[in-house]
Structure 1
């Protein structure tokens, strides 16, 4: 039963509009304009070969709201060079491929308790680096950059 949250996080359940969403405190227009500020020739390399590490610009701790950055949240995400650490799911990165201006596709092996699964997600960084959107589009999930590197009360490595 604990595999269900992982399937929802990685969009493998095929739920479409039934996927739970957490809205950010910032007005949708603010998040949309931050994402829309990317241009085809701006930011991180828009083309190039796959690599094994997530670019520095995408790394850090991300959450749905500034308030949730200060407490433990089920929307939290920590991005390191080789891992994505969600609330109950970890992903070991296999490949990172540029897919556009300030956008990468991260493929890896997801792990939740004893379950393992293939994970593939696109992450787009706003032009100012303050918003990270997972799977941009109508069902995308935007997170803001948190100022502290570790989850509250938990030291991650």
Structure 2
């Protein structure tokens, strides 16, 4: 189990760090540009975090696929990119829909209000939403590894 935990931390932790920074920046910019519009701030925080998170993961997956293909004397193609994107959709699809459209924005609106602290509420909302996000994501990742993340048959 510790090997799995290390694998998951290597995969998700750098993306999470980037996502936390982007989430706070997105919320801060939205609060400045649209004061009093908490839903805009919640959506900006959610989507800024998502772009950073999934951008990092897609970049890492592309790098690994490129290495696998180069080891076989092949190049990274548009088809390879499509497989990388499809693997991310399988890994995160359902978890991301619930997370980005319902759970995370709602928490990011209400927790800052309840706590009386914007940045603290956004951070707490992010971490609470991550709990509901990672369980299905990790299960999907493990199920997709053998089929969608191997590029030796391309």
Establish whether TM, by shorter chain, passes 0.5: no
Which interval holds the TM-score relative to the shorter structure?
A: under 0.3
Larger Cα Rg: Structure 1 or Structure 2?
Answer: 2
Structure with greater strand share of residues:
1
TM-score using structure 1 length: 0.28
TM-score using structure 2 length: 0.28
Structure with greater helix share of residues:
2
